[in-house]
Amino acid sequence: MILYLGRRLLGVVGVLAAIAAVTFTIFYVLPSDPAAAACGKSCSAERLEAIRTHMGLDQPLWRQFADFATGIFTGRTMGSGQYALHCDFPCLGYSYENSQGVWDLLVDRLPVSASLALGAAAIWLLLGLSAGVAAALRKDTLTDRALMVGAVAAASLPVYFTSVVLIYGLIRVAGLLPYPQYTPFGSDPLGWASNLLLPWLALAILYAAVYARQSRSSMIETMAEPYIRTARAKGLPRRTVVVKHGLRAGMTPILTIFGMDLGGLLAGAVITESIFGLPGIGRLFYGALSTGDQPVILGVTLLAATFIVVANLAVDLLYAVVDPRVRY
């Protein structure tokens, strides 16, 4: 296991390095000039050249990437002389819009995106797995058909439509919930949950539908395995057969898609955060795309890639815990 984990960690480093190189090259080879974007509209030629030197854009592309990559681990000094600016570890550069450190912006927005992703994930796992297992255990019955029709209908609803319906129904008409406004968990746990409930539901409805269909298929296949018949023949309680022997083995494909979904959401849900006005990473990314803020776009891209790659590694390790057959 230690050797396997070591190989996977080396693979993670390689994948992240490749993603960083490709993303950096794309953004810095584009026709747009980062120095011109940082300098603004009314910028003299002398000032533009000074900014290019300060940002290191006068260096070859490989040198620029090397400085960027080493700055992530050791920090770096941008510019020289009286205009020198030190960027502490981990250095992802500075935003063109407000001159703030990209890492500081990500750290400031991450609790919002993490709260949104983890809360929604808990709800959609509970709803999706419950519906999928219930449908599988009642295959080809009215309950099965009703649950799957509901899952297909929910999966067909885009997040922005579900969000608008929830806002109108639960806030504007019923007045049951406040309009979402992020509150830190440490200052007011109840306010944190009540303000995030609608965004959680908006995401959970879509994802729960997908997980219900996937878990139903996995459970139907698993419950037809010979070892399940053996467990029943031994007289084990139905609950033990379903949960311990059936659900654990059927969780393998669920873990795969869960790792991808959660990793992606941790890096920001652009549409959901924009609709509900949540100051998360997704909204930061959307704003950076609108203004062409390349350091922020690059930083969010690397953060998203890190979350997804690490989530996949965690899922691979959990396979052996959930399904002992994988160990062999």
- pLDDT digit string (tens) for 203-220? 899 899 889 998 898 888
pLDDT tens for residues 92-128? 888 877 778 889 999 999 999 999 999 999 999 999 9
Q: What is the largest CA-CA distance in the chain?
A: 85
Q: Give the pLDDT confidence score for residue 325 in this predicted structure.
A: 62
CA distance 74 to 90: 7
Residue for token pair 């260096």: 59
| Closest residue by Cα to residue 110 from 259, 258, 265 | 265
For residue 90, cis peptide bond before it (omega within 30 degrees of 0):
yes
Question: Which amino acid, 52?
Answer: R
Please provide residue 76's backbone torsions phi and psi, each rounded to the nearest 5 degrees. -160, 160
The structure tokens listed for 281 are 């990473």
Binning pLDDT at 50, 70 and 90, where does residue 157 land?
confident
- pTM: predicted TM-score of the whole model, two decimal places: 0.82
Whole-number pLDDT of residue 106 = 92
Q: Which residue has the higher pLDDT, 67 or 324?
A: 67
Over residues 237-275, the pLDDT tens digits come to 888 888 877 887 778 788 888 888 888 888 778 888 888
- % residues pLDDT > 70 (the chain): 91
Residue 163 contacts residue 198 (beta carbons within 8 Å): yes
Mean pLDDT across the stretch 134-158? 89
- The whole-number pLDDT of residue 118 equals 92
Average pLDDT, the chain: 83
C-alpha distances out from residue 175 to 27, 120, 172, 194, 197, Å: 45, 22, 6, 13, 14
Residues in the chain: 328
CA–centroid distance for 277 within its chain: 18
CB 252 within 8 A of CB 100: no
Helices (H) and strands (E) in the chain, counts: 15, 2
**Per-residue pLDDT tens for 51-94?**
777 777 777 778 878 888 888 888 887 766 666 677 788 888 88
Amino acid at 312: N
Provide the pLDDT for residue 142.
92
